[in-house]
Homo-oligomer: A and B are copies of this chain.
Amino acid sequence: MPAATTKREDILQSALTLFAERGFDATTIPMIATDAKVGAGTIYRYFENKEVLVNTLFQHYVSLFRQTLEHQYPSDQGIREQFHHLFQGMIRFTNEHDHALYFIKTHNASYFLNEESRGEFHRLLMILEHFLDEGKNKKQIRLLPSKALIAIMFGGFLELYKLIRAGEIEASEALLAGVEESCWDAVRHHS
């Protein structure tokens, strides 16, 4: 017994998967429709056009990711604990929303994103930048540009996750803990 607007969810889910796997340009509306088991025209009942669909998707997941990172953020604890919180956030978010983070990563600089999407993404970066800047002030994070450090964290984790998704390596607790440690070492200040 499908809930009221299952179709909208189905469309978003199919679009997310396909955009993540093939990219926006290589994903056609008929592909999404087929995958979501709806007629092509139905997509236009829920989204004005293909660009509105990506932007909706993008904003939704960026916002959700940001909330995940912000939720119970341990501001009063040490930098390492904060890093752990962020890293766990990435993992949790990725586990809950399979293709979302990869989609965000591969589409965050795309020509079709509107102001709101860019703004939402910017807000996400702000959280990470703020964390890093604080850490740099306390000499606990390397004195590299925040964006470069974010790139390393993000890039590393996502390339890793791509491998996990492809089934090439397994996502054990130990592995994830190890990768967190690795990323932390990449980012932290070494005396």
Contact = CB atoms under 8 A, between A and B. Distances in A.
A60 interface: no
Interface size class of A (residues with CB under 8 A): 35 or more
A145 B175 CA distance: 8
This chain's copy number in the assembly: 4
A163 interface: yes
**From DSSP, what is the main secondary structure of chain A's interface residues?**
helix
A74 interface: no
B187 A182 contact: yes
B156 A152 contact: yes
A182 B25 contact: no
A116 interface: no
A152 B182 contact: yes
A185 interface: yes
A153 B179 CA distance: 12
A168 interface: yes
Contacts of A144: 175, 178-179, 182
A190 interface: yes
Contacts of A111: 21-22, 26
Interface in A12-41: 21-26
A98 B22 CA distance: 25
A53 interface: no
A7 B60 CA distance: 43
B109 A162 contact: yes
A98 to B, nearest CB: 16
Contact of A25 (B25, B106, B178, B187): B25
B23 A182 contact: no
Task: State the 3 A-B residue pairs at the shortest beta-carbon distance, nearest first.
Answer: A155-B155, A151-B159, A25-B25
Given A23-B25, A106-B106, A145-B163, 20 more contacts: A21-B111, A142-B181, A144-B179, A145-B169, A145-B175, A147-B163, A148-B160, A148-B163, A148-B178, A148-B182, A151-B162, A151-B163, A152-B156, A152-B182, A154-B159, A155-B155, A155-B160, A156-B186, A183-B186, A185-B185
